[in-house]
Amino acid sequence: MSFWRVLCFGIAMCLLRAAGPASAQWTWTPETGRFVNMGNLPKETPELQVEYTRSLVVGGQLSKAMNETEKFTKFYPDTDYADDNQFLRGEIKLAQAEYVKAAEEFQQVISVYPESPLYDEVISNQYKIGDALFEKGSKRFERTSKGFRPWQSITRFNPFRRRPLRKAIDVYTMVIDNQPFTPEAAEAQYKTGLCYFTREEYLEAGFEFLRVLEDYAESESVRDASFYLTRAYEEAAFGPDYDQAPSKLAIGSIGDFSRRYAADPRVAERQEVSQKMRETIAEQRYRTARFYEKRRRLDSARIYYEIVAGEFEGTQAAEKAEKWLAENPPEGKAHAAFVGPAVVR
């Protein structure tokens, strides 16, 4: 060894002694001709490394445990315990309440190790994460709504309240994609609809509930999905001054729900909603008839009055339309009360 090497070695040793316990992990290795930080090395085998990391997780040393998973990835990337190590990364993020990152770490188990025996545990944990985010988002909406004033926009009042539910949708989508057409996927699909419904994105919610009915017709979620489909369309509906497509969808979905689940106690209330939707659509048609009447386009007005009287029997608008038709018979015909065709809706 040259004089300069001996001198450098001596200086290094003095510095290490002065550093005290902090330098205890540094060890001189003749094989490499340099100091090696033994703290950066993993345990002797992949299994021991995983078990050591797991002990840190149980002990609550989460940051240190994450560092140990990175050691595993560096030194044992292609060993039999690689999927266990990746699963631990998800558990660490979950314990740190970093829910989306946890779901993504769990997803890597499936993506990189599709034959892993941990597959079902991954799905279970992702589902729990979705539920946690859904609960958090629902509570945030509830708190925001309680603090709402009529002159304020709820979204402006708390622009961040939608985020947990958006994240829940992303996680539920992972579950659906990982195990399509399973009971777990059916439940995740239904809860995706609930997330959109809570976010007040009603047409998107309706689409997701409809997917439950079409893709998971035998699942336990079908009845509630059918019910919330009617509610989604109801909430999406507008008054008679606007497009009535959502109202029509609400009437159709309520009719389907009532036929399929006639004994359900919610049917009566839903049918009342359906009648209100019919009143709204009838009123819009009646206003259209009045529009043509005021412009002396009586033939066009008559067509709409007949539609209201014939297709929306039992509504207030239909009564007014029938009265007009009776008072304004077609030219050349005797004055007679209008009797519209019976239409069951």
Determine which helix (DSSP H) or strand (DSSP E) holds 163, and give its type and residue range. helix 163-178
Higher-confidence residue of 105 and 7: namely 105
pLDDT, tens digit, 9 for 90 and up, residues 91-138:
999 999 999 999 999 999 999 999 999 999 999 999 999 999 999 988
pLDDT (mean) for 8-21:
55
pLDDT, tens digit, 9 for 90 and up, residues 175-184:
999 999 899 9
Q: Confidence band (pLDDT; 50, 70, 90) for 156?
A: very low
Do 305 and 324 contact (CB within 8 A), yes or no? yes
pLDDT (mean) for 167-191:
94
At residue 163, the pLDDT reads: 87
Determine which helix (DSSP H) or strand (DSSP E) holds 55, and give its type and residue range. helix 46-58
Q: Which domains does the chain have, with CATH numbers?
A: 25-96 (no CATH), 105-222 (1.25.40)
pTM above 0.85, yes or no: no
Given a cut of 80, is residue 33 above it in pLDDT? no
Written as six digits, the tokens of 121 are 């545990």
Given a cut of 80, is residue 69 above it in pLDDT? yes
- Percent of the chain at pLDDT > 90 equals 71
- Percent of the chain at pLDDT > 70 equals 79
pLDDT (mean) for 282-296:
93
Between CA 167 and CA 135 the distance in angstroms is 12
At residue 149, the pLDDT reads: 41
Identify the residue whose tokens are 């997803």.
107
At residue 143, the pLDDT reads: 58
Do 126 and 174 contact (CB within 8 A), yes or no? yes
At residue 238, the pLDDT reads: 92
Written as six digits, the tokens of 94 are 């979950």
At residue 188, the pLDDT reads: 95
pLDDT, tens digit, 9 for 90 and up, residues 50-60:
999 999 999 99
At residue 162, the pLDDT reads: 74
- DSSP state, 35? E
